[in-house]
Amino acid sequence: FMLSDDGGIVVDDHMRTNLPYVYAAGDVCTASWEFATHWFQMRLWCQARQMGAYAAKCMIADEQKEEIHQDFCFELFAHVTKFFGYKVVLLGKYNGQGLGKDYEMLLRVTKGVEYVKVILHKGRMYGAILVGDTDLEETFENLILNQMDLSMYGEDLLNPTIDIEDYFD
């Protein structure tokens, strides 16, 4: 197998290794394709599951000589888990990964209830961390993918008295 600098088995955008008929997915592999703007590889169980399912689709498509497009799960980094009883959602470049120091961070914290952090770059949302039952994940996922200019909203983007789910729906 061809190995990357991080020790993972190098795979292409169809999860194929450099060996014929050999695929790899999950923690064992390193994605070698050009990533979508809001996705990056982080060896987590959710990505391993997504890669495994996509590798299976690719194997079938290759066997049947059918063209297959890369799965949507590679458009936006997303991870959902529970931590100390709180739902935790990580979206996109939730810590400003790859944005240098040229980003803005908005915070909303309600002690014991929720923590909302949004990463904005040039007025557009690039990532978010949501802790608690915020019900903002779908709205923020769409705002990240759509790259709508949010600069006119400023701090009101996280104003708890404004129902941004309905506003941006």
Q: How does DSSP assign 116-143, residue by residue? A: EEEEEETTEEEEEEEESS---HHHHHHH
Domains of the chain: 9-74 (no CATH), 78-167 (3.30.390.30)
Please tell me the predicted confidence (pLDDT) of residue 165. Answer: 80
In the prediction, which pLDDT does 5 show?
A: 96
| Positions of the chain with pLDDT under 70 | 169
Q: Give all strands (DSSP E) within 33-144, no chain letters.
A: 78-83, 86-92, 104-110, 114-121, 124-131
User: Dihedral through CA 76, CA 14, CA 55, CA 91, nearest 10?
Assistant: -10
Is the pTM of the predicted complex or chain greater than 0.85? yes
Q: What pLDDT sits at residue 89? A: 97
